[in-house]
Structure 1
Amino acid sequence: MIDADRSTPADRSMIARLAAHISHANDADPTARTAPARAAANEKFVKQAREMHPDASDERIAQVAEHLRKAHFIRLGRASGAARRAKAKTAKAPAA
């Protein structure tokens, strides 16, 4: 047994990754495992689309929701890139 109080953050990370791989290896249908989370995430965009266009058809709501989803992930990508650039900049900065 591993003593969680004495393990390092790197140890805990490795233990968690190991557990996740074992858990996923035991799944007969990995897509079904994550379906509820994907549906909940998509519903967030559908709800937002319905608020923006209350009189729109279901087809139009689906289109708007897809655009909102893509915009969301583009924003995440931009933020991630900015964070990586900032981290790289501070790593290259000379020590004072």
Structure 2
Amino acid sequence: MSAHSIHEEESHGSLGGYLAGFVLAVVLTAASFWLVLHGGFSRETALLGLAALAVVQILVHLVFFLHMNTSSSQRWNVTAFTYTVLTVAIIVGGTLWVMHNVGMNMMSR
């Protein structure tokens, strides 16, 4: 079994797919810069808009460049990615929770 036969059934994308991903990434990046530089939005609206654009940017990279999808051949990659995201969310969320509680308890004294 050669190294080439292992990857033959996997789709590594086409030039059109890479160009579509690149264009989407550039448009989303430009939209983020415009949102910040425009200055016509409230702080909360700008932060929510940036967060939404960031999530879409992550999805574009996952689909167009990392070729993650719901096919059975990608099941382990999606499982590992989901576990990683969950672990990072627990660590970041737990850290923010602990720091908030420490700050609130220190303010009471």
Relative to the length of structure 1, the TM-score reads 0.45
More contact order relative to length (CA 8 Å, sep ≥ 6): 2
Relative to the length of structure 2, the TM-score reads 0.40
